[in-house]
Amino acid sequence: MTRSFRETLAANLARVRERIEEAARRAGRRAEEVRLVAVTKYVDVPVIEELYELGLRDFGESRPQSLWEKQPRLAGDVRWHLIGSWQTNKVRRTIPLVELVHSIDRAALAELVSAEAVRAGRKLDVLLEVKLAADESKHGYRPDDLRREFDQLRALPGMEVRGLMTMASLTADEGEIRTTFAQLRSLRDELREHARLEAPWGWLSMGMSHDFEIAIEEGATHVRVGSSLFEGILDD
Ligand SMILES: *Cc1c(COP(=O)(O)O)cnc(C)c1O
């Protein structure tokens, strides 16, 4: 690996951390309240190892198969996040490898995940994915469905529901993005109240390279950042 490659990656990471800090400061929050999940779906293991050397421990993959492939090749203290859609036939093999699943988006999946986690002797931390953007391509619960199903989801024995996740539309309209993230936060507040949970219950996984600052201003606890980390490294 060339020196300039390392330097580029280190500079990108430093810049992302700075942007997180600035956004947190603007919102009167502390940067430590925001976990940076490096989305490694674009890169192979040597690049991830470099990010590990730079101090990152939280890595996210959107495809379970990529997670299966990469997880055994990285150190044991890496926390793997599954952030993309999860087909039921990929649940069993993924459960032992993940720290947090961001993308529980339907009852059938939740029930299977819970059953498989119980079978594996685990209680798996998960986030419920919410579809707020108009985008037909987005996965997730509609807010009303989630309001209806929330108690049942929380009662599943193999899952610990830690909060919510969403994706904003791919748009240049900042106001629209902010509205989406603010909606996720109010839905979290509403569910918290409804279930008589107390703060800090309710992680909010929201924000990607182009919108994570807005997400932090609106309360994100986890940002999922890929391309900003790999600028100048990927040839696209
Ligand atoms: C790819 C991906 C990201 C990262 O997106 P970037 O724009 O590259 O930062 C975040 N979340 C999900 C669900 C993704 O699939």
Neighbour count for residue 126 (Cβ, 10 Å): 27
Tokens of 42: 């674009």
Please name every residue paired with 133 in a beta bridge, in sequence order, or none if there are none.
Answer: none
Q: How is residue 187 annotated by DSSP?
A: H
Which residues sit with their C-beta closer than 6 Å to ligand 1?
39, 41, 62, 83-84, 167, 208-210, 224-228
Q: What is the distance between the alpha carbons of residues 151 and 30, in angstroms, rounded to a whole number?
A: 31
Please check whether residue 211 is in contact with residue 17, taking contact to mean a CB–CB distance below 8 angstroms: no
Q: Give the Å distance between the CA of 150 and the centre of ligand 1.
A: 26
Mutate to test the pocket of ligand 1, among 208, 223, 227, 229 (most ligand atoms within 8 A of CB): 208
Residues 6+ away with beta carbon under 8 Å from 145: none
Q: Give the Å distance between the CA of 166 and the centre of ligand 1.
A: 11
Q: Give the Å distance between the CA of 79 and the centre of ligand 1.
A: 17
> Which atom of ligand 1 lies nearest, measured to the CA of 39?
4
Q: What is the distance between the alpha carbons of residues 150 and 154, in angstroms, rounded to a whole number?
A: 6
Nearest CA to ligand 1 atom 12: 83
Each residue's pLDDT expressed in tens, for the chain with a length of 236 residues: 555 889 999 999 999 999 999 999 999 999 999 999 999 999 999 999 999 999 999 999 999 999 999 999 999 999 999 999 999 999 999 999 999 999 999 999 999 999 999 999 999 999 999 999 787 777 899 999 999 999 999 999 999 999 999 999 999 999 999 999 999 999 999 999 999 999 999 999 999 999 999 999 999 999 999 999 999 988 65
